[in-house]
Amino acid sequence: MTTPLTPAPTPGAPLQGTDSLLLEPSGPGRAPWQRLLANEDFRRAVGCLAGFLVLAVMTGPSGSQGAPTSGFTGSLFNLRVFWFVGLAAVLWGAMTLRRRYSAAVKVWNDKALALPRRLLPDTRVRYGAYFVLLVFAVVYPMHISGFWQEVAVQQIGVYVLLAIGLNVVVGYAGLLDLGYVAFYAIGAYSAAFWTGAMPVHLPFHLNPFWTIPLAILAAMLAGVILGVPTLRLRGDYLAIVTLGFGEIISIVAQNLTSITGGPGGVLGIPHFSVHLLGVHYVWGLGNLPYYYLLLGFVVLILIFFHSLENSRVGRAWTAIREDEVAAQASGINVLKYKVMAFSIGASTAGFAGVMTASQVSYIEPADFTYQLSILILVLVIFGGMGSLPGAVVGAAVLQWFPQFLRLHPLFGFQQQDLYIYLGALLVVMMIFRPEGILPSKRRKREIGLAEHGVGSADAMTTSTAEVQ
């Protein structure tokens, strides 16, 4: 018979050696620093401070080879750091107050939101709100500086278009397209080709307006050609194929110098112009005319996509996104609807390509990188997948914000840092608001249910498991 080396723990007594910060009870036997570390408020304060100090370093001056640590010293040992400590204190205070008075906050919230909640389901109110927004979108840009007008066209307008196009592919049909920018490039290069700006050109050349249908057709055709063989694949495989396609297009544009102009790009793509029935108008170097042209098209496309979402086609897309096999067994031609979503998204990007090409009048392969595909995807995810208002607002906010940061004296934002911020933003979003800022009703339900253990809410397709 062997005697146990240690006595068996008495039931009810705390286990030895498993003391952890995560275990709640802070018994009298613990050192003061342990109690401090276990204090929720303290831990939050440390988190806030650390977060903002990282932000201070990220937005501060960069180090150089001679003085590699100057990035840190210049950011942290500088009066500027007090701003960030102050911001951290404000955030910590807000979080603490919110926690302490969470019940009261909820009551206020309900009171404040009661009216909008009652009014929003009313379609008249909703359309009224859309109208007010539209008026704002029409009037406001007249009163801003030329720089912000350029932002409104090149950073916001075009990207809203790209985001609502990708939203059809990713949000409605649940297809993960990582090479979306390829269709944008195809549209831009089509515009360059038909207007006679490319090294290879036809004996005639067209007004950029006429290239719109041709570019849309080219992008759509590319979507169908790529889609028919690959959309038989399931989620993850499709993402890889589209990733490859995006790379192929950009490398082709870079290397077929005699056709596409190579890395140098294409110069001198003409601006839009109208010469009809005695009316002559040229969209010149100003930004506002392009802005209104874009706005008009975006509104038309939004109306079209909205009606599509609520049609038979939209329901088929939802079913496919939820469960492809079940959709197939219910008599939905899965391949047809997937190709349809894919090519509608592609043609929207193609259209955006024409807009860019004609306004900037210069395109190069470096405009169509893989990172841009990711950026557009982030816009859609940030706004709320499958939600048109989400895609618009997501694109507008995320494209506006870096410009704001760039101009603001406190944040020495640099364009090459953009993806650091986007990455951080996405991480925070996925933790606190995975459905996006303006989620579609269904998406909200999907995520709500998944959190209660019903079904899954994968980013893209929900169900890819095959039956035997």
Partner 1 sequence: MTAMLRLGGVDVRYGAIPALRGVDIEVREGEIVALLGANGAGKTTTLRTISGLVRPAKGYVALDGKRIDQVSPHRIVALGIGHVPEGRRIFPRMTVLENLEIGAYRRRGDLRSDLQHIFGLFPILEQRREQNGGTLSGGEQQMLAIGRALMSRPQLLLLDEPSMGLAPLVVEAIFDIIERIRDEGTTILLVEQNAAQALQLADRGYVLENGSVVMADDAEALLGDERVRVAYLGEGAA
**Candidates 105-113, 317-325, 374-382, 400-408; binding stretch for partner 1 (CB under 8 A):** 317-325
71-130: which residues touch partner 1 (CB under 8 A)?
Answer: none
Q: Does 232 bind partner 1 (CB under 8 A)?
A: no
Query: Is 294 within 8 Å of 157 (Cβ atoms)?
Result: yes
Would you count residue 316 as binding partner 1 (CB under 8 A)?
yes
Q: What binding mask, one character per residue, do residues 253-292 give for partner 1 by CB under 8 A, x or -?
A: ----------------------------------------
One of 309, 367, 435, 446 touching partner 1 (CB under 8 A): 446
| 229 near partner 1 (CB under 8 A) | no
Smallest separation, CB 380 to partner 1 (Å): 19
Q: Contact, 385 vs 440, CB < 8 A?
A: yes
List the interface residues with partner 1, window 124-163 (CB under 8 A): none
Distance, in Å, from the CA atom of 201 to the CA atom of 260, rounded to the nearest integer, reads 10
Q: How far is the CB of 172 from partner 1 (least distance, A)?
A: 14
Q: Which is nearer to partner 1, 50 or 449 (CB)?
A: 449
C-beta pairs of 59-64 under 8 Å, 24+ apart in sequence: 59/405, 59/410, 59/411, 59/412, 59/413, 59/417, 60/412, 61/412
Measured CA to CA, the distance from residue 37 to residue 114 in angstroms comes to 40
Q: Closest approach of Cβ 312 to partner 1, in Å?
A: 8
Binders of partner 1 in range 322-351 (CB under 8 A): 322-323, 325-334
Is position 318 an interface residue for partner 1 (rule: CB under 8 A)? yes
Q: Which span (20-28, 57-65, 117-125, 309-317) binds partner 1, by CB under 8 A?
A: 309-317
Question: CB of 430: closest distance to partner 1 in angstroms?
Answer: 19
Q: Tokens for 74, please give them.
A: 């210049």
Q: What gap in Å lies between CA 288 and CA 301, rounded to an integer? A: 20
CB of 437 to partner 1, least distance (A): 20
Residue 97: Cβ within 10 Å count? 12
Of 75, 373, 387, 462, the residue at the interface with partner 1 (CB under 8 A) is 462
Do 45 and 92 form a contact (C-beta atoms < 8 A)?
yes
Out of 312, 371, 423, 427, the only residue in the binding site for partner 1 (CB under 8 A) is 312
Which residue lies nearer to partner 1 by CB, 110 or 451?
451
If the CB atoms of residues 35 and 232 are measured against partner 1, the closer one turns out to be 232
Least CB distance from residue 316 to partner 1, whole Å? 7
Q: Are strands 266-267 and 279-282 parallel, antiparallel or unpaired?
A: unpaired
Q: Name the helix (H) or strand (E) containing 282.
A: strand 279-282
Q: Which of 144, 445, 458, 464 touches partner 1 (CB under 8 A)?
A: 445
Does 455 participate in binding partner 1 (rule CB under 8 A)? Answer: yes
| In the complex, least distance from residue 221 CB atom to partner 1, rounded to whole angstroms | 23
Taking the complex as a whole, how short is the minimal distance between the CB of residue 239 and partner 1, in angstroms?
22
Alpha carbon distance 24, 212 (integer Å): 63
Closest CB to partner 1 among residues 138, 326: 326
- Are the C-beta atoms of residues 272 and 283 closer than 8 Å to each other? yes
Asked whether the beta carbons of 338 and 169 are under 8 A apart, the reply is: no
CA distance 298 to 395: 13
Angstrom CA distances, 24 to 99, 120, 177, 277, 392, stand at 17, 43, 45, 79, 44
CB 318 → partner 1: shortest distance, Å?
7
Beta-bridged to residue 118, according to DSSP, are: none
* Under 8 Å between Cβ of 167 and 391: yes
Least distance CB 334 / partner 1 (angstroms): 8
For residues 163 and 383, the answer to whether their CB atoms sit within 8 Å is yes
Instruction: Give the CB-side neighbour count of residue 436, counting CA atoms within 13 A.
Output: 33
- Which one, 332 or 349, has the nearer CB to partner 1? 332
Ordered DSSP codes for 257-280: HHHH-GGG-EE-PPPPEEEETTEE
Task: Summarize as ranges the residues that interact with partner 1 (CB under 8 A).
Answer: 312, 315-316, 318-319, 322-323, 325-334, 442, 445-446, 449, 454-455, 462-463, 467-468
